[in-house]
């Protein structure tokens, strides 16, 4: 039996990716980032500040970190809540000691339920990016466009009401998008997203509605991946971040070291000492700077040859 001829027809078979969001390019071919103060290394701290419903929804999928056992799953629910009540404030203290500014990806439900946390983030000078409505606010290709737009708007508007200004950055739950997400984000006033992890530097995406900058935060460098999934210690995490920093600093500068943090993972008391030592070490490195996602977006050259 022969194959249908259409089986071998693939209109996007070409150099690069199977979409029109950007042209493929090698990292060494691009114009360098213009980091503030002439810095050669950017340390980009990202915290996921999330609210988990005690009984998760299943559609379109259950986000990572959700409840695991028969409901009500108080053990995992309260473990996540520990991050909001205690762990996140340990991270804020650590950032303050190191003189570091961070990007905080915030569920809209946090602003609704814990407005004082938002006040503390703003008072400390950290950046807030929208991180959906709550941990049931997932996106994938099955989500109706109108429903996705409504989710994006609610996330944006809730944070805008809490902070006084609409966030310009977005991070999806599980970094998951639909085919429509980049365009919808531009249409709803977002300038950059933190979902795609395919690079060490920010780059531009072109949508039918305009340009969206992607600011990558490599998932393999996250505390959840290293400590929870791979079951490494906090000391091992620190060593791996230092190894990554040294390698990146040895390449053609500037480069970005992304640290994605989870309050109920890194914010536990037996890990904070190691984490504070890491921040202190990073702060001491020559020609380095702690930068937010917005800072990295602004450092992208006006005419990058993507």
**CATH number attached to the domain at 35-299:** 3.20.20.370
Average confidence (pLDDT) over 102-127: 98
33 exposure class (CB count in 10 Å sphere: 0-12, 13-18, 19+): buried
Residue ranges covered by each domain of the chain: 35-299
Alpha carbon separation from 110 to 34, 96, 99, 159 (Å, rounded): 34, 22, 25, 9
Q: What are the beta bridge partners of residue 47?
A: 104, 261
> pLDDT at position 181, please?
98
> pLDDT at position 305, please?
42
Average confidence (pLDDT) over 94-100: 98
d(CA 167, CA 176): 19
Q: What percent of the chain has pLDDT over 90?
A: 83
pTM, two decimal places:
0.93
* Residue 49 per-residue DSSP state: E
Alpha carbon separation from 208 to 146, 151, 165, 214 (Å, rounded): 17, 20, 25, 16
Asked if the model's pLDDT at residue 133 lies above 80, the reply is yes
Pairing assessment for the beta strands 169-170 and 192-193 based on DSSP bridges: parallel
> pLDDT at position 26, please?
87
Minimum mean pLDDT among 11-15, 21-25, 75-79, 94-98: which range?
11-15
Question: What is the chain's mean pLDDT, rounded?
Answer: 93
> pLDDT at position 15, please?
64
Contact (Cβ atoms closer than 8 angstroms) between residue 44 and residue 256: yes
Q: What are the tens digits of pLDDT across the range 255-274?
A: 999 999 999 999 999 999 99
**Which band of pLDDT confidence, cut at 50, 70 and 90, is reported for residue 78?**
very high
Asked if the model's pLDDT at residue 14 lies above 80, the reply is no
Q: What are the tens digits of pLDDT across the range 19-62?
A: 889 888 888 888 999 999 999 999 999 999 999 999 988 878 88
């Amino acid at each position: 039996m022969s194959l249908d001829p259409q089986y071998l027809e693939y209109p996007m078979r070409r150099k690069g990716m199977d979409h029109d969001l950007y042209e493929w390019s090698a990292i060494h071919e691009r114009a360098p980032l213009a980091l503030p103060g002439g810095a050669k290394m950017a340390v980009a701290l990202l915290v996921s500040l999330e609210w988990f419903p005690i009984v998760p929804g299943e559609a379109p999928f259950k986000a990572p970190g959700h409840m695991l056992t028969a409901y009500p799953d108080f053990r995992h629910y309260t473990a996540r809540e520990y991050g909001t009540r205690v762990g996140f404030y340990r991270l804020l203290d650590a950032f303050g000691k190191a003189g570091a500014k961070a990007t905080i990806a915030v569920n809209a439900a946090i602003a609704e339920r814990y407005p004082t946390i938002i006040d503390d983030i703003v008072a400390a000078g950290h950046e807030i990016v929208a991180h959906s409505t709550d941990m049931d606010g997932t996106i994938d290709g099955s989500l109706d466009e109108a429903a996705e737009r409504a989710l994006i708007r609610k996330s944006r508007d809730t944070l805008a009401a809490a902070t006084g200004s609409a966030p310009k950055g977005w991070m999806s739950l599980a970094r998951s998008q639909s085919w429509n997400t980049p365009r919808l984000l531009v249409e709803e006033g977002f300038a950059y997203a933190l979902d795609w992890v395919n690079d060490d530097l920010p780059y531009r995406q072109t949508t039918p509605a305009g340009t969206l900058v992607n600011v990558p935060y490599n998932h393999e460098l996250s505390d959840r991946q290293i400590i929870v999934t791979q079951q490494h210690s906090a000391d091992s995490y620190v060593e791996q971040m230092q190894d990554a920093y040294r390698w990146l600093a040895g390449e053609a500068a500037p480069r970005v070291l992304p640290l994605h943090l989870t309050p109920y993972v890194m914010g536990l008391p037996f890990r904070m000492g190691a984490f504070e030592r890491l921040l202190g070490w990073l702060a001491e490195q020559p020609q380095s700077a702690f930068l937010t996602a917005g800072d990295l977006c602004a450092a992208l050259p006006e005419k990058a040859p993507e």
